[in-house]
A and B are shown apart, each in its own frame.
Chain A
């Protein structure tokens, strides 16, 4: 038997083509039971197609999908124990909340008394015990969200798929729902597969994240791994913010590369995982704003730099004030402005636009990737 019962969902070499378009290209992954797994990618990368194949609305052109170790390829959507929260939730407007939740149980042939207890139970678990008799249009956005999840969870699915369900909510509610979804997942202890294009949703909620780009998985890992050890230029650029330079390798040795950027800067950086370079290779360099230290120019000069740090001077173009997440846009002698995280306290020591500042960062935090070669 090939089944590994520790995995709720396994996909092996799944592909889907629509005519000449490869929407999903040889994707393999497995999801351990009871974890929160996100598939993160820009729109049109094939993540929705992948989810529709798991739910059974599309058939893969090649590959296998196993749920609890059993292949579900021949199983129609209504027989798969995979439930889905749709992008616009798809609650049934002609039924009230109770009927919406009871629908799945009725389909499964549950008795009246059993339905009543289960619906009551699930409504209590999502902390909305008294909404059973309400109509769908009387609910708020967040309540609808929870009802859509309850409607699936009442059926005790092996895997719950969520297709960008927070997209329609306003920002405040979205932030609150992120935490709530995570708590719900803990509470139900069911495997959640969450599809999103919003990296902060994926990073905050997930145990594991797969980054998807043009039909392929670029990297699967914990949010920390994706953020700090991206496997490809795409992941480095897509997850989190980063300053980015294009350049050519001048010298490569001891796990470091010296790169001449196209704007004429010389930077020392660390090749991304699995990358080796020879002089002359075209590379992209990524440095995250929070790893850049900004110091006022007056007197200290390079004193603030650690040993071997890269640094350059520039003039503060503008300040992007956003409380604790404030940034400075610094214009170096050559090239594009650099974004650096700064602390603005409102005191006299704050950096002001027009000042000359020194930016410095450790070469460990400057990752470079070969241009146009994402790992296969």
Chain B
């Protein structure tokens, strides 16, 4: 076997797991979902090709509501995660000493050692009517009766921000880390105050990290299932819940598959819009990190 063949073989072997993963776990299921979504049930075990599932969605305002509600709340979560995550990332990348940086990063990672489900239950323990917060308030005499803090939108948003903020911090830290401190000093030296330096220098420099963090966080939030269900209860009206209902409760796989594609199309559209508005490219942001 000559050198070229060997190189080619090692390339194929290295590439194989990735190719299998993409093919078997991403492309094939999506083809299956696509086929499912594009067939209409006309009788028991009788199907024909058509856009009926999508038309059903379009004709029903409640589905639109849920989709937009999911989208707007995800955007809110993304914005809050950015506002809360940026100072943390800035502190880790620029202010903290070399040694404390690692420790701080580790502290940020600790919640990831616990599964989503357990973390959501943690919130429930804190916020339910008989939970820690409610009983403390009662004991302090600040409220007269137990307070139910679960099952509302604020709790869902807080829980989601908590779940996803790490995915905002990591890309931000890595972009801010690459920024020369002299750039910030130059910003001050040339007469800028703290606000000008942040607005004209730090944020524009960190833009690829900001956009990449926002895309990841938005996609994770819009596609999340556990946190909205557990913290929002029956009324959370999250789009993933609707999809679950179609598949499992109604046993209507055709419509569930169509909804899945709609969510994918909707979130992709929002990401595309965000990239267009901020003047960034996908390759320049997510791929950079």
Contacts and interface: CB of A to CB of B under 8 A. Distances in A.
A84 B185 CA distance: 9
Contacts of B192: 78, 103-104, 107
A86 B186 contact: yes
A323 interface: no
A83 B189 contact: yes
B190 A94 contact: no
B191 A84 contact: no
Contacts of B185: 55, 57, 77, 84, 86, 90
Contact of B182 (A76, A78, A90, A108): A90
Given A92-B201, A94-B204, A94-B207, A83 B190 contact: yes
A14 interface: no
A82 to B, nearest CB: 8
Contacts of A107: 190-193, 196
A86 B184 CA distance: 11
Contacts of B193: 78, 107
Nearest to B190: A104
Contact of B191 (A55, A78, A86, A95): A78
B206 to A, nearest CB: 10
Contacts, number: 62
Contact of B189 (A78, A88, A92): A78
A79 B180 CA distance: 22
B188 interface: yes
A264 B169 CA distance: 69
A55 B189 CA distance: 7
Contacts of B188: 57, 76-78
Interface residues on B, range: 10 to 19
B205 interface: yes
A152 interface: yes
A59 B189 CA distance: 15
Contacts of B234: none
A90 B183 contact: yes
A93 interface: yes
A155 interface: yes
A275 interface: no
B200 A103 contact: yes
Contacts of A87: 182
Contacts of A90: 180, 182-183, 185-186
B205 A84 contact: no
A47 interface: no
A151 B196 CA distance: 17
Nearest to A109: B191
Contact of A84 (B186, B196, B200): B186
A107 B193 CA distance: 8
Interface in B172-203: 180, 182-183, 185-193, 196, 200-201
B189 A84 contact: yes
A167 B94 CA distance: 25
A157 to B, nearest CB: 10
Contacts of A86: 182, 185-186
Please indicate which of the listed interface residues A78, A84, A108 has the most CB atoms of chain B within 10 Å of its own CB.
Answer: A78
Nearest to B207: A94
A92 B191 CA distance: 14
Contacts of A83: 189-190
Interface string A207-247: 00000000000000000000000000000000000000000
Please indicate which of the listed interface residues A79, A104, A107 has the most CB atoms of chain B within 10 Å of its own CB.
Answer: A107
Nearest to A82: B189
| Among all A-B residue pairs, the 10 with the closest Cβ atoms | A104-B190, A107-B191, A90-B182, A90-B186, A94-B204, A86-B182, A107-B192, A77-B188, A78-B188, A90-B183
Interface of A: 55-57, 76-79, 82-84, 86-88, 90, 92-95, 103-104, 106-108, 151-152, 155
Interface of B: 180, 182-183, 185-193, 196, 200-201, 204-205, 207
18 contacts: A55-B185, A55-B189, A56-B189, A77-B185, A77-B188, A78-B189, A78-B191, A78-B192, A83-B189, A88-B180, A90-B180, A90-B182, A104-B190, A104-B192, A106-B200, A108-B191, A152-B190, A155-B190
